[in-house]
Structure formats: structure tokens, C-alpha cells
């Protein structure tokens, strides 16, 4: 398992993009509309090694603005799910297939930090 990126939830995605570009020197890579009312902006640092995702979700815009989650790439989502369940980790979104056939699931750590697992 490898860490892929850090996700920051935002209530104003354009303002967040501008901040990370102008203040911290990140480069805007792309943006997708993952679902109606849900946008994800992808940014990278100057070296291209650190990835940042800014997430705006109209439906949950008042819930946990500025919240952070970690994204991990796994070989097989089913194996990752078994491993997490065996270790008592709470899964809050069961594995599902999203755009481009990728599979994703979300769990939480003991502190409530969201952990996204993606099989690419």
C-alpha cells in the first residue's frame, strides 16, 4: 500500500486553488466533477512528488470544512477491505466502482480521519 495524496475539504474550491498556487507554490493539474455538486481539484508540488486534492461537495459543504483525509493506492480493494475489517477498522463507504473502472472505499482511523483506498 502506498500513500497517494492528501485531500482537503473546502467550502470554496476556487479560493483554495488560488491559495495553494499563489501562497504555497503548488501547480494546478486538473479538476473533475465526480458527481453533481461535487468537484475535485488536483494539484502537485514543484517536484511533482506531493499530490494534493481539494474536495468541494455541495451536499456536505457545512460538514467538516477544512477536514483532511488520506488516500492510499492498493493492489486489490477486496484484500484491503479484509485487512481493515480483520483489524477492527470501521469502513464508512463500502468498496464501489467509480469512473474509469477504479474501485474505492473509505474507512476512518481511531481519530476520525478519513482514509480512502483506491484500486487503480
Q: What does the pLDDT average to over 109-113?
A: 74
The pTM (predicted TM-score) of the whole model is 0.62
| Residues pairing with 38 in the sheet | 35, 57
The model's pLDDT over 53-62, given as tens digits with 9 standing for 90+, comes to 988 888 766 5
The domain defined by 1-65 carries CATH number 3.10.180.10: yes
CA–CA separation, 108 and 120 (whole Å): 20
The model's pLDDT over 65-98, given as tens digits with 9 standing for 90+, comes to 557 788 888 899 999 999 999 988 999 999 999 8
- CATH of 74-120, picked from 3.40.720.10, 3.10.180.10, 3.50.30.40, 3.50.30.60, is 3.10.180.10
The domain spans of the chain are 1-65, 74-120
CA distances from residue 12 to 21, 37, 52, 76 in whole angstroms, order as listed: 14, 12, 15, 34
> In CATH terms, are 1-65 and 74-120 the same topology?
yes
Amino acid at each position: 500500500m502506498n500513500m497517494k495524496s492528501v485531500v482537503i475539504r473546502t467550502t470554496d474550491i476556487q479560493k483554495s486553488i488560488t491559495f495553494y498556487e499563489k501562497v504555497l507554490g503548488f501547480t494546478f493539474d486538473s479538476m473533475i466533477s465526480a458527481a453533481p455538486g461535487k468537484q475535485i481539484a488536483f494539484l502537485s508540488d514543484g517536484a511533482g512528488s506531493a499530490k494534493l486534492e481539494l474536495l468541494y461537495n455541495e451536499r456536505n459543504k457545512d460538514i467538516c470544512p477544512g477536514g483532511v483525509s488520506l488516500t492510499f493506492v492498493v493492489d486489490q480493494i477486496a484484500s484491503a477491505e479484509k485487512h481493515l475489517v480483520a483489524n477492527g477498522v470501521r469502513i464508512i463507504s463500502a468498496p464501489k466502482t467509480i469512473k474509469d473502472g477504479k474501485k474505492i472505499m473509505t474507512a476512518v482511523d481511531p481519530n476520525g480521519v478519513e482514509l480512502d483506498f483506491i484500486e487503480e
